[in-house]
Amino acid sequence: MTSTLARYAASDATSRGRRYQEASPRHRSEYQRDRDRIIHCAAFRRLEYKTQVFVNHEGDLYRTRLTHSIEVAQVARSIARALSLNEDLTEAIALAHDLGHTPFGHAGQDALNEKMRDYGGFEHNLQSLRVVDELEERYAEFPGLNLTFESREGILKHCSIPNAKNLGELGQRFIENTQPSLEAQLTNLADEIAYNSHDVDDGLRSGLIEIEQLQHIELFSAPYNTVIEQYPHLNERRTIYEVVRRIIGQQVNDLIETTSDILQEQQTADIDAVRHSTKPLVMFSKRMCEMNLELKRFLRNNLYRHYRVHRMSAKAFTIINELFDAFIHDIRLLPPDTAARSRILENEQGISGKARAVADYIAGMTDRYAIREYQRVFHPLEPT
């Protein structure tokens, strides 16, 4: 299982282990076990009804957090295999990376962060870690999923310094400015590759952006011209797909080749050398970085800030804002188990603990659950 891994790959042999000690799995690697636990957890199933850019009920063909996570896992595994890195670990990280996402995508996260400003803030990467470390209640022997250090390290992509200080060895790298495993680094970029390309696809399908606009964007225009030249009579839907697969392919190839050169050049010895490095070792070429940035900027200005996306974001803000205030002022509005948890955390940590319990409850909601909960709490004619 581990014989083909590069010397700098993560492996069961060099793993820093789990928070609660457990016997090794019999027929799986440690990271396969992590992946399996993630797939079976409730937060993973909720990803199906959480937004990426489009709200879940807007259409059945758009990406959700679940399909996004699966696409990230696919891209990450391809890259990991080509670089002889640990595919199982990349898959576990990819499938878990968005578990802490709020309903309504970034609008939801911004709203919750705003509400939590005086109580330690809300960071979605940190929330993903809270989900796997604490919030999932499934096992008799430990809270959370008790994942390996390496999976947890990969899930915690970003973290503010004050929060990092409370995380022990997992937070160290944000304070010391060092790196996580190569598997974590590549999954982070696989996430970008996946969302940039599927947002082009979903954006075009929704009609919020047009091919004509994208022709000024190099990452799109180069493959688009190739496809049009090679298949001038292809219908638009298939043309777009042929372009999108090339956008993904170009970036994956660039990432593999650039990273492979860096690893050779640096003579990277092992995972410790990776972790002590002051700079990431998994990278796009400079040229690809620029093209990538150009596409990102385009998507930000034309898709994420499109008035129709903004309308939904504004609604999301209202829903989260008002639910948070209502729950904080009267925790008896919460379902009993959440209210009980809120009382426990309030006893332990004061008002910040109470706010955290409310934030955990809201962050766990799917888009449609949040909308229904809003109606149940505020609309006099709705059933409660």
Which residues lie near Mg ion (CB under 5 A)?
Answer: 98, 191
Between 129 and 339, name the residue whose CB sits nearer to Mg ion. Answer: 129
Between 55 and 271, name the residue whose CB sits nearer to Mg ion. Answer: 55
Is the CB of residue 359 less than 8 Å from the CB of residue 112? Answer: yes
Using only C-alpha atoms, what is the Rg of the chain?
A: 22
**CB count in 10 Å sphere of residue 192:** 17
Q: Rounded to an integer, what distance in angstroms lies between the CA atom of residue 169 and that of residue 196?
A: 32
Is the CB of residue 145 less than 8 Å from the CB of residue 244? Answer: no
SS3 state at 207: coil
User: Min. distance of Cβ 154 from Mg ion in angstroms?
Assistant: 12
DSSP label of 74:
H
Structure tokens at 131: 């989900």
User: Min. distance of Cβ 170 from Mg ion in angstroms?
Assistant: 20
**Residues 301, 304, 307, 308, CA torsion sign:** positive
Angle, in degrees to the nearest 10, between helices 351-363 and 336-349:
150
User: Min. distance of Cβ 261 from Mg ion in angstroms?
Assistant: 27
Between 191 and 254, name the residue whose CB sits nearer to Mg ion. Answer: 191
Nearest alpha-carbon partner for 32 in 89, 79, 80, 99: 89
Q: Rounded to an integer, what distance in angstroms lies between the CA atom of residue 115 and that of residue 109?
A: 10
Q: Rounded to an integer, what distance in angstroms lies between the CA atom of residue 370 and that of residue 296?
A: 29
User: Min. distance of Cβ 163 from Mg ion in angstroms?
Assistant: 19
Residue nearest to Mg ion (CB): 191
User: Min. distance of Cβ 162 from Mg ion in angstroms?
Assistant: 24
User: Min. distance of Cβ 72 from Mg ion in angstroms?
Assistant: 6
In 121-152, which positions are buried (b, 16+ CB within 10 angstroms) versus exposed (e)? Answer: bbbbbbbbbbbbbebbeeeeeeebbbbbbbbb
Amino acid letter, 206: S
Between 98 and 367, name the residue whose CB sits nearer to Mg ion. Answer: 98
User: Min. distance of Cβ 194 from Mg ion in angstroms?
Assistant: 7
User: Min. distance of Cβ 109 from Mg ion in angstroms?
Assistant: 12
Between 64 and 148, name the residue whose CB sits nearer to Mg ion. Answer: 64
Between 29 and 125, name the residue whose CB sits nearer to Mg ion. Answer: 125
User: Min. distance of Cβ 69 from Mg ion in angstroms?
Assistant: 7
Between 93 and 309, name the residue whose CB sits nearer to Mg ion. Answer: 93
Q: How far is CA 3 from CA 29, 85, 187, 263, 314, in A?
A: 12, 11, 22, 19, 52
Q: Rounded to an integer, what distance in angstroms lies between the CA atom of residue 193 and that of residue 198?
A: 9
Between 30 and 34, name the residue whose CB sits nearer to Mg ion. Answer: 34
Between 73 and 263, name the residue whose CB sits nearer to Mg ion. Answer: 73
